[in-house]
Homo-oligomer: A and B are copies of this chain.
Amino acid sequence: MSRNTYIPCLLNLLCQYGYDGATLSKISEATGLGKASLYHHFPNGKDEMVTTVLNFLADWMEQNILPALKTEGSILIKMERMCDRLNEVYAGGEKPCLFAILLMGSSRDIFHDQVKVILLKWINEMTEVLSASGLDTAIARGKAEDVAIAIQGALILSHGLDDVSLFQRIIRQLPQRVCG
């Protein structure tokens, strides 16, 4: 069993319980591995597990979001494809964003730099695509930021209000909104 086997399980635990709440006991139970076995796969303990998950998410973005932004077609099409993938990974708004989770509270100092790199890559890529369509660079950057803001905000509010329809509406309207 490679350590990659446990990444989806770790991601779910972190999303559900947060960094502090995802204890080694819970991880042990969910993975079916004893604590000592977890340290065999992740010698640096929980922080290494989280870093591994973040690397996985960075890869996922590279292989899903960025290709969606580079497909042939209009900006509208590109944004629709990206939103489809975001809708998948956030399970229609049911699943919170690990980036936001790790940025709040005690885990922030540990993982902030890694999260920042991922978020920046996403926003930079959107900015580039929008610029390439002839938009002024500053305007493109602002629109890219607005997309990330809307996604993150919609996830927070959907969880806070127990109403995924907020996230779903944002996902549906975003492509048009970026083009408008």
Contacts and interface: CB of A to CB of B under 8 A. Distances in A.
Nearest to A167: B149
Copy number of this protein in the oligomer? 2
Contacts of A170: 149
A2 to B, nearest CB: 28
Interface residues of A, number: 39
Interface in A22-79: none
A148 interface: yes
Interface string A138-152: 000010010011111
B153 A19 contact: no
Contacts of A21: 20, 105-106
Nearest to A18: B105
A166 interface: yes
